[in-house]
């Protein structure tokens, strides 16, 4: 019995790298299909001595549908300072989505050369807040500074990462700086990665420094509807910490008296935009109609 990790999936074949760094082109046994189980890039699998068939998939710590990948340690959230305009609401949605999926967020600001000094300072204040609540956050007046990229390479070491962000945020440009061998044209990441009009769908892991990055533009769906309004507060780390001082257990930080989170907002310990975005998402989740087709 051999152990390895799937590094690429292509047309029903799975390239598995064993513990010695050797790649094996494998297929999944037929009983996987019978049990409606699909191996994913990132899966740790057991395969036979011939190196041709996957026999067992080990338990996943997480998985995504878009892209189909598992066991992700962290996501690099590429966040444009401009073009498209910076949105705290979108960023907080992305962060909460990652928390729900048990994936560590890393924030990387791009296009900082396109904002004036006052706009940059406002973003810098927010960036410092996100650092304070535990998210590695990269912000420099000139995007893709060498020192900053070297720091990010260290963050990627010994981790499996995906890169995510809205269209135009600079995902392909960041990938090019981290892995120049990709030579992706800006705005053409989908075409370069066998997506879009191509009939072959490929997902794979690239070695970048001492880490692995999924060669996909990241997942484009920020679906928060799988959680409930009452559970939402669990996915904002500073709310969890400060919320231990609320008067009532199970406080959702909306109308309850003695709420430590609302007090922290009033005192500036929690930034207003973060609370406003939470309140908007809480209201949306509370008002959503149940899906009886599940």
Tell me the pLDDT tens digit for each residue of 22-60: 999 999 987 888 888 899 999 999 999 888 999 999 999
Q: Is 172 annotated as a binding residue?
A: yes
Q: Is 97 annotated as a binding residue?
A: no
Q: Is 169 annotated as a binding residue?
A: yes
Q: Is 165 annotated as a binding residue?
A: yes
Q: Is 171 annotated as a binding residue?
A: yes
Q: Identify the residue whose tokens are 């939470």.
A: 278
List, for residues 213-241, the tens digit of each pLDDT value: 986 655 555 566 678 999 999 999 999 99
Residue 292 has pLDDT above 80, yes or no: no
Q: Is 179 annotated as a binding residue?
A: no
Where exactly are the structural domains of the chain? 2-59, 69-214, 229-287
Q: What are the two backbone dihedrals, phi and then psi, of residue 128, each rounded to the nearest 5 degrees? A: -65, -35
List, for residues 269-282, the tens digit of each pLDDT value: 999 999 999 999 99
Q: Look at residues 34, 36, 173 and name the one whose alpha carbon lies nearest to residue 113.
A: 173
Q: Is 202 annotated as a binding residue?
A: no
Mean pLDDT within 178-197? 54
Q: Is 168 annotated as a binding residue?
A: yes
pLDDT, position 168: 83
pLDDT, position 192: 43
Let me know: does 278 contact 92? Beta carbons within 8 Å: yes
Q: Is 246 annotated as a binding residue?
A: yes
Helix (H, G, I), strand (E, B) or coil at 271: coil
pLDDT, position 31: 82
Q: Is 166 annotated as a binding residue?
A: yes
Length of the chain equals: 294
pTM for this predicted structure = 0.86
DSSP for 107-167, please give it: EEEE-GGGS-HHHHHHHHHHHHHHHHTT--EE--SSTT-HHHHHHHHHHHTT-EEEEE--T
- Kindly report the number of other CB atoms within 10 A of residue 88's CB atom: 17
List, for residues 89-128, the tens digit of each pLDDT value: 999 999 999 999 899 999 999 999 999 999 999 999 999 9
Under CATH, domain 229-287 is a member of which superfamily?
Probable gtpase engc; domain 3 (1.10.40.50)
- Kindly report the number of other CB atoms within 10 A of residue 132's CB atom: 12
Q: Domain 2-59: which topology? A: OB fold (Dihydrolipoamide Acetyltransferase, E2P) (2.40.50)
Residue 194 has pLDDT above 60, yes or no: no
Q: Is 251 annotated as a binding residue?
A: yes
Q: Is 259 annotated as a binding residue?
A: yes
Range from 106-115, 151-160, 166-175 carrying the lowest mean pLDDT: 166-175
pLDDT, position 165: 84
Average pLDDT, the chain: 87
Q: Domain 69-214: which topology? A: Rossmann fold (3.40.50)
Q: Is 253 annotated as a binding residue?
A: yes
């Amino acid at each position: 019995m051999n152990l390895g990790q799937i590094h690429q999936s292509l047309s029903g074949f799975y390239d598995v790298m064993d513990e010695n760094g050797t790649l094996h082109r494998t297929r999944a046994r037929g009983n996987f299909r019978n049990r409606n189980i699909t191996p994913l890039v990132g899966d740790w699998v057991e395969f036979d001595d011939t190196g041709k068939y996957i026999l067992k998939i080990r338990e996943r710590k997480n998985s995504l549908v878009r892209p189909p990948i598992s066991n992700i340690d962290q996501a690099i959230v590429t966040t444009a300072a401009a073009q498209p305009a910076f949105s705290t609401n979108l960023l907080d949605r992305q962060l909460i989505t990652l928390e729900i999926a048990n994936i560590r967020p890393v924030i990387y600001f791009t296009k900082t050369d396109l904002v004036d000094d006052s706009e940059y300072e406002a973003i810098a204040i927010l960036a410092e807040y996100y650092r304070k609540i535990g998210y590695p956050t990269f912000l420099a007046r000139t995007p893709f500074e060498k020192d900053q990229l070297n720091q990010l390479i260290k963050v990627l070491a010994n981790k499996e990462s995906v890169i995510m962000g809205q269209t135009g945020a600079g995902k392909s440009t960041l990938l090019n700086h981290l892995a120049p061998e990709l030579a992706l044209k800006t705005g053409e990441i989908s075409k370069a990665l066998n997506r879009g009009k191509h009939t072959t769908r490929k997902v794979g892991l690239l070695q970048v420094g001492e880490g692995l990055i999924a060669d996909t533009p990241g997942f484009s769906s920020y679906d928060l509807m799988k959680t409930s309004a009452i559970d939402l507060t669990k996915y904002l780390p500073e709310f969890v910490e400060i919320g231990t001082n609320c008067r009532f257990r199970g406080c959702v930080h909306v109308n309850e008296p003695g709420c430590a989170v609302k007090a922290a907002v009033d005192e500036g310990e929690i930034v207003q935009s973060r609370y406003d975005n939470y309140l908007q998402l809480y209201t949306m989740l509370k008002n959503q109609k149940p899906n009886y087709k599940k």
